[in-house]
Amino acid sequence: MEEREVEALLERVLDGEPDRFAPIVEAYTPALFNLAYKMLNGSSETTDVVQETFFRAYRDLGRFDGRTRFYSWLCGICVNVCYDTGKRRRRAWDREQPLPEEGAEAIAVHGPDAEASLMAAQDEAGVRRCLGRLPETLRAALLLRYQEDLSLQEVADQLCIGLSAAKMRVQRGLGLMKECMSARLAGGVP
Amino acid sequence: MKPGDRPQEDFDGLRGVEDTLRGLRREVPPEGLAAGIASRLAQLPSPRRSAWRELWEALQRPQVVWAYRLATFLVLVGIMAGVWRVASRKDAVPAPGQATPAASPAALQTGGAIRPSIPATFTFYSPKAQSVCVVSTFNDWDCARTPMTRGKDGTWSVQVSLPQGKYEYMFLVDGSRYETDPNAMELRQDGMGNENAVLRL
């Protein structure tokens, strides 16, 4: 859905036509579902998170100032709802400890050929597993950047951090992903 | 990814991970999820613009912008007119009890020449006095020509119309005691140890 079309619909919603929000829900539900699913490692609470995201967006629509893309704003809300959900089920997440910041077992992989073979060796499930083991702040940054195609500035805006911090999180997340996938390839990580 | 976005990233050796993440299969929501959410949202109160946003948008409307400019222009004109008026008058705003000149379209004929006359009100607070009058250069210091009338609160007053000019005056209380206007903006020594109040019209 084009941003102009979204803005026009939002204006009509705020002008007293709430049913104009339905096409927006229809358009963005798949993207938010994908984001929430990966943020929550496929939890059954994903649909609740998507619903809560739209509820919050609808409730606070009057405060959306249009300085960012509406989709970007929605992603930011969704990540926050995921954080809230994650806090509630922290105990259940204990068995999925995040990767240590330093010293993850990794095999030495250098050069474009070696890297290409490494990536090719990763199966989808393995990548998801590595993604799920990241700290949620890094996972959020990677998903917003590479799955939802937000710019680094939009990632920064929606995570309420500076551009350099967003870049650092993405880089750190990519580094940990590489270590995790390398370790999986070497059989060091289940 | 947006055009030109890539150059700001320089994650050496991580390009493969980036591509892997981009290539992750997207999850598909269960059928009917969007419709269900939309139907639940329809039961909620309609969202409204925040008061600040309403105000900001109202201020951005062209007609309001023009009204603003017009109002600003009128205020500036008013300020300039006020400054000009104050600057053109030697005396400042009079205090209560002071002789108060006021503009008047009336004219006073003196010696064949027509000169504008300006009403001036003299007031003097003296609740115990039996009589008070104004003695001045405009009435040849003759008390009988400008007697004052006592108000309920003990303030004596009289209004006269005078040609533009400078006048010295005193209040004569009970026919024997001269009092200087305590609220006069300007005073002048009379050469006999007293001070006359000065009224400029």
Which residues have CB under 8 Å from A77's CB, separation 6+?
A: A53, A56, A57
Which residues in chain A (135-174) have CB-CB distances under 8 A to chain B? 142-143, 146-147, 149, 151-152, 167, 170-171, 174
Q: Closest Cα to residue B134, out of B169, B159, B99, B166?
A: B169
Q: Which of B21, B30, B37 sits opposite A54 (nearest CB)?
A: B37
Q: Which of A8, A54, A61, A59 is nearest to A29 (CA)?
A: A54
> Nearest CA of chain B to the CA of A92: how many Å?
23
Q: Do B21 and A115 touch (CB under 8 A)?
A: no
Over residues A54-63, the mean pLDDT reads 91
Taking CA A92 as the corner, what is the angle to CA A87 and CA A97, rounded to the nearest 5 degrees? Answer: 85
Give the range with max mean pLDDT: A27-31, A62-66, B188-192. Answer: A27-31
Say if strands B166-173 and B155-163 run parallel, antiparallel, or are unpaired.
unpaired
- DSSP assignment letter at B2: -
In angstroms, how far is CA B73 from the centroid of its own chain?
Answer: 15
* Residue of A51, A60, A152 to mutate for B, most B C-beta atoms under 10 A: A51
**DSSP string for residues in B125-170:** E-TT-S-EEEEEGGGTT-GGGSB-EE-TTSEEEEEEEEESSEEEEE
Decide: helix, strand or coil at residue A162: coil
Q: Percent of chain A at pLDDT above 90?
A: 42
- Weakest mean pLDDT among B32-46, B74-88, B186-200: B186-200
Distance from CA of A105 to the nearest CA of B (A): 17
CA quadruple A102, A131, A139, A90: dihedral sign: negative
Residue A182: in which H helix or E strand, if any? helix A163-185
Contact flag A115-B16 (C-beta cutoff 8 Å): yes
A181 vs A129: CA distance, rounded Å: 9
Contact residues on chain A for B7, CB-CB shorter than 8 A: none
* ipTM score assigned to the predicted complex: 0.74
| Chain B contacts in chain A segment 21-80 (CB below 8 A) | 21-22, 25-26, 29-30, 33-34, 37-38, 46-47, 50-51, 54-55, 58-63, 65
Q: Give the dihedral sign, CA A27/A30/A34/A39.
A: positive
* Mean pLDDT, residues A80-85 taken together: 92
Nearest chain B Cα to A111, which residue?
A: B13
| Residues B188 and B196 sit within 8 Å (Cβ to Cβ) | yes
Q: What are the backbone angles phi and psi of residue A42, rounded to the nearest 5°?
A: 75, 25
Amino acid letter for position A100 = P
Count other Cβ atoms within 10 Å, centred on residue A54: 24
- Cβ within 8 Å, pair B34-A26: yes
- State the average pLDDT over residues A164-170: 91
Instruction: Indicate whether B184 pLDDT > 90.
Output: no
* Nearest Cβ partner for B26 among A21, A34, A171: A34
